[in-house]
Amino acid sequence: MSDDARRAAARQIRDHLLEMPEMSAAGTIAAYYSIGAEPDTRTLIFALWKRGSYVVLPILLPDGDLDWASYEGPDSLAAGPHGLLQPTEPARGPGTVARADVVLAPALAVDARGYRLGRGGGSYDRALARVGGQVPTIALLYDGELLPSVPTEPHDQRVRLVVQPAAGLTRLPAAAPPPAE
């Protein structure tokens, strides 16, 4: 994708998310600051913060788990491992994600059952395992990244929704068979 196409896709994803009733009603939103060619979350996070949502972002721990800290504007971020930008506010603990009203998760692709293909570290699977069954967990994808199936492992966690630029919001089945071992 060209840079212009990526920027346009990020705007569409942001707008779809900001229109969701679940996002409007959320007191705490666990998000992530995108890197590389991921759908850009920077304007989304800033918009959520400006409208008064409490946004927490991940801090990658040495063991690959995720801690969480408050986003307090673009100046509250510093370079972290693997090219990540992470909050400089005090860490609130890995269990913070369990108290979020909405959780946004990165994904390279998601299948029709809600299983996501990540970067292979398992960080988000650990975080998603802490989230209650009624909390919207949402993967941000480019169009064409919602697939019939992706490879899964026993530890993989599902997302409940995906948002794509043109396709908008897709709610995934409430129950899915366990991943193949």
Task: For the chain, give every domain's residue range.
Answer: 3-171
Q: Give the CA distances from residue 164 to residues 88, 114, 146, 180, in Å, rounded to whole numbers and listed in that order.
A: 30, 14, 9, 26
Taking the C-alpha atoms of residue 38 and residue 42, their distance in angstroms, rounded to an integer, is: 11
Which residue would you say has higher pLDDT here, 148 or 180?
148
Q: What is the pLDDT of residue 180?
A: 56
- What is the C-alpha to C-alpha distance for residues 118 and 127, in angstroms, rounded to an integer? 13
Residue 62 has pLDDT above 70, yes or no: yes
Measured CA distances, 41 to 51, 134, 141, 156, 177 (Å): 15, 23, 11, 23, 31
- What per-residue confidence (pLDDT) applies to 59? 96
Name the residue type at position 98: A
pLDDT at residue 177 is higher than 70 = no
Selected from 3.40.50.10420, 2.40.50.140, 1.10.10.10, 3.30.470.10, the CATH number assigned to the domain covering 3-171 reads 3.40.50.10420
pLDDT computed for residue 124 by the predictor: 94
* DSSP element (H, E) containing 24: helix 21-25
Check whether 149 has a pLDDT greater than 80.
yes
Please report how many Cα atoms fall inside a 13 Å half-sphere around the Cα of residue 76, on the Cβ side.
19
pLDDT for the residue 57: 98
Task: Decide: helix, strand or coil at residue 137.
Answer: strand
DSSP lists the bridge partners of residue 163 as: 140, 169
- Give residue-wise pLDDT tens across range 74-100: 999 999 888 889 999 999 999 999 999
Identify the pLDDT of residue 178: 54
Is the pLDDT score of 145 beyond 90? yes
pLDDT surpassing 70 at residue 119: yes
Q: What is the pLDDT of residue 70?
A: 97
Q: Could you give the residue ranges of the DSSP H alpha helices within 26-117? A: 42-50
Q: Letter for the amino acid at 57?
A: L
